[in-house]
Amino acid sequence: MNELQQADAVPAKAPPTGRYWLMWLVLLALQLVNLGSSYLPLGAFNVVVNVGISIVKALLVMAVFMHLSSASPVMRLAAGVGFFFLAVLIGLSLGDYMTRP
């Protein structure tokens, strides 16, 4: 009856290692893109690109290395809820700083 047990974080069989190695290469490639892009004169968009790529990398790490891609919805919710309320904290605080006279 427990909704958490439907999809366990670690399957009983060993998953093939291929996707881990692939993910490693993708992450390193993204890091190079991140590094390279920061030398392009994009103005304010440098930080957008930098943080955007970081978000993609973080999602990949969580999905593959932390097994969220095969985890139950409740587990994913637990993983996401902290980021959601961090966004609330930063968003509403910035709302103050951006609208001050």
Partner 1 sequence: MTTIAAEGAPSYISAGYTLRSWLTTRDHKRIALLYGVSILFFFLVAAAAAAMIRLELLTPAGDLVDDDTYNKLFTVHGVVMVWFFLIPSIPSTFGNFLIPLMIGAKDVAFPRLNLASWYIYTLGGLFVVVTLIAGGVDTGWTFYTPYTTMFSNSHVILAVTGVFIVGFSSIFTGLNFIVTVHQMRAPGMTWFRLPLFVWAHYATSLVMVLATPVLAMTLALIAIERLLGVGIFDPALGGDPLLFQHLFWFYSHPAVYIMILPAMGVVSEVITCFSRKPVFGYQFMVYSLLAIAAVGFMVWGHHMFVSGQSMYAGMVFSLLSFLVAIPSAIKVFNWTATLYKGSVRFDAPMLYALGFIGLFMMGGITGIWLAALAADVHLTDTYFVVAHFHYIMVGGAVMAFFSALHFWWPKVTGRLYPDGWARAGAIVMFVGFNLTFFPQYIAGYLGMPRRYHVYPPEFQVLNVLSSGGAVVLGVGYLLPLLYLWWSLRRGRLAGANPWGATGLEWQTPSPPPTYNFASAPRVEGPPYAYQAGGTDGR
Partner 2 sequence: MAAEGTSAMAASHFADAEQRETAATFGMWIFLATEVLFFGVLFAGYTVSRVQHAEAFILAGRHTDVLLGSINTAVLLTSSLTMALAVRAGSVGWRRSCAAWLVLTAVLGVAFLAIKGYEWHEDWLQGLVPGLRFAYSGPDAPGVELFFFLYFVMTGLHALHLTIGILVIAVMALLAARGRFSAAYHTPIVLTGLYWHFIDVVWIFLYPLFYLVSRS
Q: Residues of 41-55 as b/e, b for ≥16 C-beta within 10 angstroms?
A: eeeeeeeeeeeebee
Q: How far is CA 27 from CA 13, 44, 61, 77, in A?
A: 25, 24, 8, 24
Check residue 81 for interaction with partner 1 (CB under 8 A): yes
Interacting residues of 35 by C-beta distance below 8 A, sequence separation 6+: none
Among 14, 18, 95, 99, binds partner 2 (CB under 8 A): 14
Q: Could you say which of partner 2, partner 1, none residue 31 binds, taking C-beta under 5 to 8 angstroms by partner kind?
A: partner 2
Instruction: Evaluate whether 42 touches 84 at the Cβ level (below 8 Å).
Output: no
Q: Could you say which of partner 2, partner 1, none residue 22 binds, taking C-beta under 5 to 8 angstroms by partner kind?
A: none
Check residue 74 for interaction with partner 1 (CB under 8 A): yes
Binding mask 34-73 for partner 2 (x = CB under 8 A): xx--xxxxx---xx--xx-xx--xx--xx-xxx-------
Q: Which residues bind partner 1 (CB under 8 A)?
A: 1-4, 74, 81-82, 85, 88-89, 92-93, 95-101
